[in-house]
Structure 1
Amino acid sequence: MNYLINGITFNTQLRTLSLAGKQVYLEAKSFELLSIFVLNPNCVLTRDELLSLAWQGKVVSDSAINKAISKLRQHFDTLQPEAQIIQTKPKVGYLFCATVITQQTVKYQPRVHLASTVLYLLLCLSVIAAMFWLSKQKFAESTPLQLQRITAHEGIETQLSAAKNGQIAYLSTRYDSNTRQVYLKNLATNQTQRLPIEVDGLHAFNVNFAGQKIAYVMQQEESCMLALYDLSTHSSSDIMDCQGMNNIKLAWQFDDQALFIRSRKNNAHPYTIFKFLIHSQTLSQVSLPTENLDMQGDYLLAAHPNTHTLAFVRYLESNQTQIHIVDSHTLNPIHTVPFAGVIKAISWDVDGDQLFFNAQKTLYKLHTDTLQIKKLKDLSHPIESIAVTKVNDFTMLLLSQYHASSKIIELNLENKQRHTLFDNAALNRLPQKTQEGDLIFISDAEQQHDLWVLQNGRATKLALPFEFGFRRFELHPTEKKLLFEKEGALIELSLDSQIVKQVFAAKHKAYVANYHDGGNKIIYSSNKRGDWQLWLFDRRTKQHLQLTHAGGYSGFYYQDQLYFTKRHVSGVWTLNAGQEQLVLPNVKNINWLNWRIIAGRIYFYQPEEGIFQYDLDTGQTLRLLSQPSGFLHQYSIRTSPETITYVELKPMQGDIHALTL
Structure 2
Amino acid sequence: MRWKIAQFVFCEKSQTLNDKGTTIILEPLSVEVLAYFCRNPNVMISRDVLIAEVWNGRIVTDNAVTRVITKLRKALADKLESPQFIATFPKKGYKFVAEVTPLDEYSEALPLSSPNNLSSNRMHTEKWVQYLVVFMLAVCGLLVWLWVSSAPQPVSSGISYRIGALTRGVDREFHPAASPNGRYLAYSAFNADQIRLLLKDIESQETLEIGDQHGWSGPAAWSSDGTQLVYLNTTRDACKYYLLTLANLVVTERKLIHNCPKGSHGKIIFGRKPHTFIYAEAGSAGSPFSIFEINVSTGDVRRLPQPELVLGGNSQFDLHPTENKLLISSPNRQQWLNIYSLDLTNDELRHLFELREYTCCAIWDHTGMRVVIQGEHPAKELISFNLDGKDRAVLFQVPHSVSSPSRIPNSAHYAYVGGEVNRDIYVHSFATQTSKVIIDSAIDDWLPVISQDGKNLAFMSDRSGNEEIWIRERGQTFERKLTSYNDGRHYFDLQWSPDGKLIAGMTINEIHLTDAVNGNWRKLKIPHEELVAISWKDNQTLSFSIKKSGQWILHHYRIDNDQLTAASGDWQFARYAISSNDSLWIDHNDNAFYGESRTHLELAELRILQNKRLNLVKKGDSVFYTALDSSGSQLMQADVKAKHIVPLFKVDNPSGLSINESEIYYSLRVNGDTNIYRTERSNRGNIKSD
Q: 1:378 to 1:467 in 2, by over 3 A?
A: closer
**Aligned mates of 1:253, 1:422 — CA distance in 2:** 49
Higher mean C-alpha deviation, range 414-423 or range 550-559: 550-559
One-letter amino acid of the structure 1 residue matched with residue 513 of structure 2: E
1:219 equivalent to 2:234? Answer yes
Specify every segment of 5 or more residues in structure 1 that has no aligned partner in the other structure, as ranges: 1-95, 105-142
One-letter amino acid of the structure 2 residue matched with residue 313 of structure 1: S
2:165 maps to which residue?
A: 149
1:401 maps to which residue?
A: 418
2:368 maps to which residue?
A: 352
1:234 maps to which residue?
A: 252
Q: 1:174 to 1:543 in 2, by over 3 A?
A: closer
Q: 1:496 to 1:512 in 2, by over 3 A?
A: same
Specify every segment of 5 or more residues in structure 2 that has no aligned partner in the other structure, as ranges: 1-142, 152-158, 682-690
1:654 maps to which residue?
A: 674
1:182 equivalent to 2:197? Answer yes
Q: 1:184 to 1:601 in 2, by over 3 A?
A: closer
1:197 maps to which residue?
A: 211
How many residues get paired? 513
Report the alpha carbon displacement of residue 460 of structure 1 after superposing the two structures with TM. Answer: 3.1
Q: 1:269 to 1:447 in 2, by over 3 A?
A: farther
**Aligned mates of 1:488, 1:547 — CA distance in 2:** 20
2:320 maps to which residue?
A: 304
Higher mean C-alpha deviation, range 266-275 or range 408-417: 266-275
**Aligned mates of 1:476, 1:355 — CA distance in 2:** 42
**Aligned mates of 2:621, 2:193 — CA distance in 1:** 39
Q: 1:428 to 1:315 in 2, by over 3 A?
A: farther
* Alignment check: 8 A CA contact 1:318 1:342 kept: no
Report the alpha carbon displacement of residue 300 of structure 1 after superposing the two structures with TM. Answer: 1.9
Per-residue displacement from partner, 1:550-593 (whole Å, max 9, x unpaired)? 551233366489631357x544135998x995544443224224
Given candidates 421, 437, 449, the residue that maps to 1:420 is: 437
1:261 equivalent to 2:279? Answer yes
2:44 maps to which residue?
A: none
Q: 1:278 to 1:305 in 2, by over 3 A?
A: farther
Per-residue displacement from partner, 1:418-457 (whole Å, max 9, x unpaired)? 2111122333221112345432112233454332223423
Q: 1:529 to 1:656 in 2, by over 3 A?
A: closer
Report the alpha carbon displacement of residue 198 of structure 1 after superposing the two structures with TM. Answer: 1.5
**Aligned mates of 2:349, 2:337 — CA distance in 1:** 16
* Alignment check: 8 A CA contact 1:408 1:647 kept: yes
Counterparts in 2 of 1:17-96, with a 5 A limit? none
Given candidates 538, 554, 560, the residue that maps to 1:534 is: 554
Report the alpha carbon displacement of residue 221 of structure 1 after superposing the two structures with TM. Answer: 1.6
Report the alpha carbon displacement of residue 382 of structure 1 after superposing the two structures with TM. Answer: 1.2
One-letter amino acid of the structure 1 residue matched with residue 295 of structure 2: L
Given candidates 534, 545, 550, the residue that maps to 1:513 is: 534
TM-score, length-scaled by structure 1: 0.68
Report the alpha carbon displacement of residue 346 of structure 1 after superposing the two structures with TM. Answer: 3.8
**Aligned mates of 1:318, 1:422 — CA distance in 2:** 35
Q: 1:428 to 1:278 in 2, by over 3 A?
A: farther
2:648 maps to which residue?
A: 625
Report the alpha carbon displacement of residue 366 of structure 1 after superposing the two structures with TM. Answer: 3.2
Counterparts in 2 of 1:444-463, with a 5 A limit? 444-455=462-473, 456-463=476-483
**Aligned mates of 1:369, 1:469 — CA distance in 2:** 26
1:588 maps to which residue?
A: 607
Percent identity among equivalent residues? Answer: 14
Q: 1:478 to 1:600 in 2, by over 3 A?
A: farther
One-letter amino acid of the structure 2 residue matched with residue 251 of structure 1: I
Report the alpha carbon displacement of residue 229 of structure 1 after superposing the two structures with TM. Answer: 0.6
* Alignment check: 8 A CA contact 2:211 2:217 kept: no
Counterparts in 2 of 1:548-559, with a 5 A limit? 550-556=570-576, 559=580
**Aligned mates of 1:369, 1:534 — CA distance in 2:** 37
**Aligned mates of 1:624, 1:180 — CA distance in 2:** 23
Q: 1:547 to 1:181 in 2, by over 3 A?
A: closer
* Alignment check: 8 A CA contact 1:485 1:513 kept: yes
1:376 maps to which residue?
A: 395
2:128 maps to which residue?
A: none
**Aligned mates of 1:659, 1:485 — CA distance in 2:** 35
Per-residue displacement from partner, 1:49-83 (whole Å, max 9, x unpaired)? xxxxxxxxxxxxxxxxxxxxxxxxxxxxxxxxxxx
One-letter amino acid of the structure 2 residue matched with residue 148 of structure 1: G
* Alignment check: 8 A CA contact 1:169 1:182 kept: no
Q: 1:249 to 1:444 in 2, by over 3 A?
A: farther
Per-residue displacement from partner, 1:394-415 (whole Å, max 9, x unpaired)? 4322223122211111111211
**Aligned mates of 1:584, 1:576 — CA distance in 2:** 19
**Aligned mates of 2:599, 2:649 — CA distance in 1:** 31
Report the alpha carbon displacement of residue 601 of structure 1 after superposing the two structures with TM. Answer: 4.1
1:45 maps to which residue?
A: none
* Alignment check: 8 A CA contact 1:208 1:256 kept: no
* Alignment check: 8 A CA contact 2:461 2:469 kept: yes
Report the alpha carbon displacement of residue 496 of structure 1 after superposing the two structures with TM. Answer: 1.0
**Aligned mates of 2:307, 2:355 — CA distance in 1:** 21
1:343 maps to which residue?
A: 359
Q: 1:493 to 1:582 in 2, by over 3 A?
A: same
Q: 1:355 to 1:101 in 2, by over 3 A?
A: closer
One-letter amino acid of the structure 1 residue matched with residue 669 of structure 2: L
1:246 equivalent to 2:264? Answer yes
1:171 maps to which residue?
A: 187
Q: 1:544 to 1:347 in 2, by over 3 A?
A: closer
* Alignment check: 8 A CA contact 1:203 1:219 kept: yes
1:283 equivalent to 2:301? Answer yes
Report the alpha carbon displacement of residue 248 of structure 1 after superposing the two structures with TM. Answer: 1.0
1:645 maps to which residue?
A: 665
**Aligned mates of 2:298, 2:391 — CA distance in 1:** 39
Q: 1:369 to 1:597 in 2, by over 3 A?
A: closer
Q: 1:582 to 1:622 in 2, by over 3 A?
A: closer
One-letter amino acid of the structure 2 residue matched with residue 477 of structure 1: P
Q: 1:632 to 1:508 in 2, by over 3 A?
A: closer
Q: 1:462 to 1:207 in 2, by over 3 A?
A: farther
Given candidates 484, 489, 504, the residue that maps to 1:483 is: 504
Counterparts in 2 of 1:117-136, with a 5 A limit? none
1:161 equivalent to 2:177? Answer yes
2:456 maps to which residue?
A: 438
One-letter amino acid of the structure 2 residue matched with residue 612 of structure 1: M
One-letter amino acid of the structure 2 residue matched with residue 472 of structure 1: D
One-letter amino acid of the structure 1 residue matched with residue 428 of structure 2: L
**Aligned mates of 1:644, 1:365 — CA distance in 2:** 43
**Aligned mates of 2:415, 2:295 — CA distance in 1:** 28
* Alignment check: 8 A CA contact 1:440 1:451 kept: yes
One-letter amino acid of the structure 1 residue matched with residue 230 of structure 2: A
* Alignment check: 8 A CA contact 2:408 2:414 kept: yes
Report the alpha carbon displacement of residue 513 of structure 1 after superposing the two structures with TM. Answer: 2.2
Report the alpha carbon displacement of residue 479 of structure 1 after superposing the two structures with TM. Answer: 1.9
**Aligned mates of 1:259, 1:245 — CA distance in 2:** 21
**Aligned mates of 2:327, 2:179 — CA distance in 1:** 18
SS at match of 1:305: coil
Q: 1:255 to 1:348 in 2, by over 3 A?
A: farther
Report the alpha carbon displacement of residue 196 of structure 1 after superposing the two structures with TM. Answer: 3.2
2:86 maps to which residue?
A: none
